[in-house]
Amino acid sequence: MLNKIKALKQEIESATAVTQDELEQYRLHFISKKGELTNLFQELKNIPTDKKREFGQALNEIKQLAQSKFRDLVSDLERKKSIPAGTDADLTLPAYDPVGSVHPITATRNRIIEIFKRIGFNVADGPEIEDDWHNFTALNFPPDHPAREMQDTFFIEKNPDILLRTHTSNVQIRLMKKQKPPIRAIMPGRVFRNEAISARAHCIFHQVEGLYVDENVSFKDLKATLFYFAKEMFGKSTKIRFRPSYFPFTEPSAEIDISCFICGGSGCNICKYTGWVEIAGSGMVHPNVLENCDTDSGKFTGFAFGMGIERIAMLKYQIKDLRLFTENDIRFLQQFKTMI
Ligand code: PHE
């Protein structure tokens, strides 16, 4: 009887059904009440009791095999039926989803814009290829000031007055030159610095600049605005702190840190065990900058800030390597599919 089972197993395994008839034959032959398997089950009563268990098990296994093979044959046949005659297209294959996903930098930029729009900021734009005056001089960088060194610049060889902007602060100048206060704008865009590409640096990255100039704008407004942003972006319980810093175009200047939203301030590897992470540079617009843009510094004051979009995205989504943003690896990009 074991031999019979073995032979039946082979028969089942090699069975095919190209037509509905063949499928029906398979069913009749193997699994119907009058089929081979039923015969074998009937023979079971002739088997000595001590062997019954072994044979019973073997028979049950083969019954399952026959049934699952039947299901396979049914679905194979269904699939074949759906192929239009004369082609080999398989219409039952899962569809390729051609809908792309929003790049995480775009999504982060949109989110930042959306938050500032709610509190009255317009979006402004400026050129990526800039002259020295708008990128440095008008922003109160004296010609040989070491602060220029902090932003290793791509100059155009043929005309060293032309450069790739090192920050979005050039748009502050362009905006104030063409528009009288009140000005309340955010300015997202690409910036360029001569940096070796690594997990933490790239020669092209994105910033968002913010500028608010009007009568009686104070440091208090800067604090409240950035505090609002931090809570909207990173969660309601976020705290902020201002650390004194230096930028030629703001006075006083401050780096803005937020409480680490990963560990809540108790210390982790994201905040390097300090409880705080830096998100932006900021300060009160330097009177020289206002004057360079024909804005009366006796009448108007303002604040400005600048933040790296990659940095915000890396913090928010815990992305450890900046290079992922430009490698276009679909496995990385698709993870942002649900974002807008
Ligand atoms: N432009 C500065 C930078 O790129 C950031 C900044 C913008 C600081 C506005 C203060 C005010 O580092």
DSSP state of 31: I
**What are the residues facing 186 on neighbouring strands?**
123, 210
Residue 61 pLDDT class (50, 70, 90 cuts):
very high
| Helical packing angle, 36-43 and 2-14, nearest 10° | 160
Residue nearest to atom 9 of ligand 1 (CA): 305
60-69, 113-122, 162-171: least confidently modelled range: 60-69
Would you state the pLDDT for residue 228?
A: 98
41 C-alpha to center of ligand 1: Å?
A: 84
For strands 250-259 and 183-192, give the pairing. unpaired
Helix (H, G, I), strand (E, B) or coil at 119: coil
Could you tell me if 73 and 17 are in contact, meaning their C-beta atoms sit under 8 angstroms apart?
Answer: yes
Q: How far is CA 142 from the centre of its chain?
A: 39
Whether residue 181 is predicted with pLDDT greater than 70 in this model: the reply is yes
Helices (H) and strands (E) in the chain, counts: 12, 10
168-172, 248-252, 264-268: least confidently modelled range: 264-268
Domains of the chain (ranges; CATH) run: 2-82 (no CATH), 104-339 (3.30.930.10)
The arithmetic mean of pLDDT across residues 137-159, rounded, is 89
Could you tell me if 305 and 227 are in contact, meaning their C-beta atoms sit under 8 angstroms apart?
Answer: no
Helix (H, G, I), strand (E, B) or coil at 22: helix
Mutating to test ligand 1, I would choose from 121, 148, 167 the residue with most ligand atoms within 8 A of its C-beta, which is 167
The arithmetic mean of pLDDT across residues 186-196, rounded, is 96
DSSP 63-108: HHHHHHHHHHHHHHHHHHHHSPTT----TTSPPP-------HHHHH
Whether residue 99 is predicted with pLDDT greater than 80 in this model: the reply is no
34-48, 76-90, 121-135: least confidently modelled range: 76-90
User: Comparing 125 with 148, which gets the higher pLDDT?
Assistant: 125
86 C-alpha to center of ligand 1: Å?
A: 65
Whether residue 340 is predicted with pLDDT greater than 60 in this model: the reply is no
> Alpha helix locations (H) across the chain?
2-14, 20-26, 36-43, 49-82, 104-118, 132-135, 169-178, 219-234, 287-292, 309-317, 324-327, 330-333
Helix (H, G, I), strand (E, B) or coil at 299: coil
> Mean pLDDT, the chain, as a whole number?
92
Q: What is the pLDDT of residues 30-47, one digit of tens each?
A: 988 888 888 888 888 888
Pocket of ligand 1 from Cβ distances under 6 Å: 167, 169, 209, 247, 250, 281-283, 304-306
Residue nearest to atom 6 of ligand 1 (CA): 306
